[in-house]
Amino acid sequence: MTRWRLTKSMVAASVVCALTGSTAWAQQATPAEELEALKRMMKDVISQNEELQRRIRELEAAMAKQEQATKDAAREAAKEAAKALTQEAPKEPVKAAATAPATEPAKAKKGPLDKIQLGGAIEVEAGKRRDFAGVRTSDFTLTTAEFDFEADIVTWGKAELSLQWISCPTPCATPDTDKITVNEALITLAKPEKFPLYLKAGRGIVPFGISTGTTVAAKLEETLTITGPLTVDVFESKEDYVLLGAKAYGFRAGAYVFNGSTNQVGGGGKRLEHYGLTAGYAVQTDTLSFDAGVDLIDSVFDSDGLTTAFPELQNPGRRGYVSGVAAHARLGLWGFSLVAEYDAAYHKEAQFERDDRIFRIRPQAWQIEAGYMTEMFGIRPFGAFNYSETAGLLGTFPKRRILGTVGSYLSDNIRVAAEYANDQDYTKRQLGTGRDADLYTLRLTYEW
């Protein structure tokens, strides 16, 4: 468009000049001579216009070539700048990226420490008590010293190991009698995102009842009270076992076999014949948590508490084992928690002889607990009330237990709590004392 305007202007200028010249000349020439002169002038103008157009085309081609050269130069400059940024500026990151592939496999071969989680707990407490005999005592003790390992070396399996310090009985003759024991050692093979089945084997608490006692609204595995309910004292069973289970859509089920202390064979022989079944359902959200389950075990007298209380029933002989059933429900909502549990021998009574007398017992225990936890000023205060009771245990355990606990999580790792516990013994007719006992406890816990 610019060239066309320039051409028109030049043609117009040429015509104007020609006409101006022709007017001056026409005053002196004849018409024929004037016509010939005009023709020659028009030819000259047309020739000049063609020359101008040629020069304009040459100028435009030169300008276009220069513009392209400028663009090419700018593109090359940008490439050089980018190359300089990638090769010269981040020298250290490039070096780290180059050495990372060689470093990480070497670390994995030596031992993937980044896949081993360490944890533990230390608890100290001051207590004042009065037992069933009326004897009053008070002390300050280290009650728990535990060290935990969890290894997730592969995506489809993990290992858990818990070592626990156990103090010598009171009074302690010498500190050298303290010892470290294996509290839990389990291998779990599972890949829940691919397959619902899993296998768990090792030493731990078998799924019968609520082994940890109680719950916090958002975390079913935690306990608010310091002292455990009587259901835990009587029926908790720590065994060497192997369990095959399945989990899907909140439902769970499993079957296991374990090495129990009861032995039907007698005479020093032993067979792997104890088993248990478990099933339940659980759901957890930001505000609601719910868990319910039913468990079966073929021998309730394999529990830690009943094994110690009734050694006469460790070899039942032809009488066979006494089976047990447990049912529980736990609910947490808006900081409130509610727990209910019932454990019992259900198949038959157990018969044994003690002090030349024949006894028949059917162990039972149940508990109910209500608790509340909130958050204020950066801490989490809580309170809980627990009531538990037993039946058919001939004074070997308390008849009932009442727990009242208040405390606070000062952080996620540190907790302080105070508790009052009252135990009521069986009557003298039921081989108890008929008295009660009190325990005041102040405990400080640090977990990591």
Q: How would residue 65 be classed by pLDDT, with cut points 50, 70 and 90?
A: confident
Same domain, 375 and 319: yes
Same domain, 142 and 79: no
Domain at 234, CATH number: 2.40.160.10
pLDDT(381) > 70? yes
Question: Quick check: is 251 in a domain?
Answer: yes
Question: Quick check: is 97 in a domain?
Answer: no
Question: Quick check: is 140 in a domain?
Answer: yes
Question: Quick check: is 263 in a domain?
Answer: yes
Please list the residues that pair with 185 across neighbouring strands.
Answer: 161, 203
| pLDDT given at position 30 | 55
* Alpha carbons 371 and 213: distance in angstroms, whole number: 12
| pLDDT given at position 152 | 85
* Strand ranges in 87-155 using DSSP code E only, listed in sequence order: 116-130, 136-154
pLDDT(29) > 60? no
pLDDT(139) > 70? yes
Closest CA to 447 of 420, 403, 410, 418: 410
Q: 79 vs 67, 69, 85, 408, CA distance in Å?
A: 19, 15, 10, 63
Q: pLDDT of 188-205, one tens digit each?
A: 999 888 889 999 999 999
Same domain, 164 and 72: no
| pLDDT given at position 167 | 67
pLDDT(324) > 90? yes
Question: Quick check: is 110 in a domain?
Answer: no
Closest CA to 234 of 313, 319, 308, 132: 308
Instruction: Point out the least confidently predicted range of 26-40, 118-132, 394-408.
Output: 26-40
Domain boundary among 45, 70, 87: 87
* Strand ranges in 80-135 using DSSP code E only, listed in sequence order: 116-130
| pLDDT given at position 31 | 65
pLDDT(25) > 90? no
pTM for this prediction? 0.69
Exposure string over 356-386, b if 16+ CB within 10 A, otherwise e: eeebebbbbbbbebebbbeeeeeebebbbeb
Do residues 180 and 161 lie in contact, with contact meaning Cβ atoms separated by under 8 Å? no
Q: What are 45's two structure tokens?
A: 């103008």
Other C-beta atoms within 10 Å of 171: how many?
5
Instruction: Point out the least confidently predicted range of 55-59, 264-268, 303-307, 404-408.
Output: 264-268
Indicate the average pLDDT of the chain: 81
Q: Mean per-residue pLDDT for 363-383?
A: 94
Same domain, 56 and 127: no
Percent of the chain with pLDDT over 70: 78
Q: Mean per-residue pLDDT for 169-174?
A: 51
| pLDDT given at position 63 | 80
Question: Quick check: is 371 in a domain?
Answer: yes
Q: Which domain holds residue 150?
A: 118-447
Same domain, 146 and 206: yes
Same domain, 72 and 126: no
3-state helix, strand, coil in the chain (%, to 5): 30, 45, 25
Only one residue has tokens 């095959």, namely 244
| pLDDT given at position 7 | 47
* Alpha carbons 61 and 67: distance in angstroms, whole number: 10
Q: What are 297's two structure tokens?
A: 């075990």
Look at the chain and report how many structural domains it folds into.
2
Question: Quick check: is 357 in a domain?
Answer: yes
Q: How would residue 410 be classed by pLDDT, with cut points 50, 70 and 90?
A: very high
Same domain, 156 and 283: yes
pLDDT(145) > 80? yes
pLDDT(57) > 90? no
Query: Of 180-184, 275-279, 321-325, where does the model show the most confidence?
Result: 275-279
Q: 399 vs 82, 135, 370, 427, 437, CA distance in Å?
A: 82, 19, 20, 9, 11
| pLDDT given at position 248 | 93
Same domain, 127 and 82: no
Higher pLDDT, 311 or 37: 311
Question: Quick check: is 135 in a domain?
Answer: yes
Percent of the chain with pLDDT over 90: 46
| pLDDT given at position 278 | 96
